[in-house]
Amino acid sequence: MCGMSVTEIAVKGSSAQKFYDHTLSHTDSKHMMTHAKPLLFKLTVRLILILITTSVWAQEPLIKPQKKTKPQRALDLSKKTGLSILSISEGVSGLGINIGLNSNSFMEFILSGDWRQPSSRSAETQLYLSLGAHLQMIQAGDQAAFTLGGRLHITYNELCDTDPALCADRSTISTPIPQYALEVPLRIYWFPNQYVSLHSELGASFSWGQQGASEGSTGLEGYTVTIFSQSTLVGRLGLTLWF
């Protein structure tokens, strides 16, 4: 050491410092790698679990909670169909089919008729067809309603060539002819429940056609206007089953 110059001592000192720094850096790197491997493994496992959970959740359908629906009101006629038995005119009943248009209106189709074969006359056919609609104008709670309607009524009746009274008495030969009526029925409905209803009907009608007669009454040629004139005190009764 005594024979070495100051320059040589400085160079060797610098080399020793570099070797020490390199050794320390290498040791720190190994130490960091030793601790980084478990951390990297944990992060990788967590990432895989997150991906699996996300994939399963995306494939499962979303189950929406069921909403509690209120029961349909008796007067709510939407999506309802009705089958009714009702009075068309004096002495004539018919089968009605009702189709709900919305919550407070419905369409009605009525069919009725008869076929007769008297021993002394040709066969007689009577056919009653009606098509109309009704609207609930006033509702009383959930059990009663007042309706206003419009209806076209077509009747294939008997044609009497002589006296209408004789034709009604089946004393002459007659053939079916059409008679027409435009009617404005007013009804009061009562719903004991949402499946059954009772009603009574009054109203006005305008009828016209050729001279003819039915089994129980006569129809004269020309036109007739009827306003709130019914055969009974309670009007024309009807019963409807709704489903």
What pLDDT, in 10s, does the model give residues 23-46? 545 555 555 555 556 666 677 777
Dump pLDDT digits (tens) for 163-175.
556 655 655 555 6
Lowest mean pLDDT among 96-100, 219-223, 227-231: 219-223
Dump pLDDT digits (tens) for 200-218.
998 898 888 765 544 444 4
CATH pick for 81-242 out of 1.10.10.10, 2.40.160.20, 1.10.3720.10, 3.40.50.1950 = 2.40.160.20
Q: Is the pLDDT of residue 137 over 60?
A: yes
> 217 Cβ partners below 8 Å, 6+ apart?
90, 91, 168
Spans of all domains in the chain: 7-66, 81-242
Q: Which of 125, 144, 82 is nearest to 107 (CA)?
A: 82
Q: What confidence tier does 1 reach under pLDDT thresholds 50, 70, 90?
A: very low
Q: What is the mean pLDDT of the chain?
A: 74
Query: How far lies 81's CA from each of 57, 143, 200, 210, in Å?
Result: 44, 18, 19, 36
pLDDT at 170: 56
Q: Is the pLDDT of residue 118 over 90?
A: no
What is the average per-residue pLDDT within 127-142? 92
pLDDT at 217: 46
For the ranges 75-89, 103-117, 146-160, 183-197, the one whose mean pLDDT is highest: 183-197
Task: Please give the structure tokens belonging to residue 214.
Answer: 């039915």
Residue 209 phi, psi dihedral angles, 5° rounding: 155, -175
- Rounded CA-CA distance 35/67 in Å is 55
- Rounded CA-CA distance 224/236 in Å is 19
Q: Is the pLDDT of residue 87 over 70?
A: yes
Token match 């294939």: residue? 156
E strands along the chain, which residues? 81-89, 92-102, 105-116, 124-140, 144-160, 174-193, 196-209, 212-213, 218-219, 222-227, 236-242
What is the average per-residue pLDDT within 226-236? 73
pTM: 0.62
Q: Residue 216 burial (CB < 10 Å; 0-12/13-18/19+)?
A: exposed
Q: Is the pLDDT of residue 232 over 80?
A: no
Which run of H or E residues covers position 35?
helix 6-59
Q: Is the pLDDT of residue 10 over 80?
A: no
Q: What confidence tier does 223 reach under pLDDT thresholds 50, 70, 90?
A: confident
What is the average per-residue pLDDT within 98-112? 94
Residue 158 · residue 114 · CB < 8 Å: no
pLDDT at 142: 87
Token match 């009807």: residue? 238
More confident residue, 68 or 20: 68
More confident residue, 211 or 155: 155
- Rounded CA-CA distance 132/103 in Å is 17
- Rounded CA-CA distance 87/110 in Å is 10
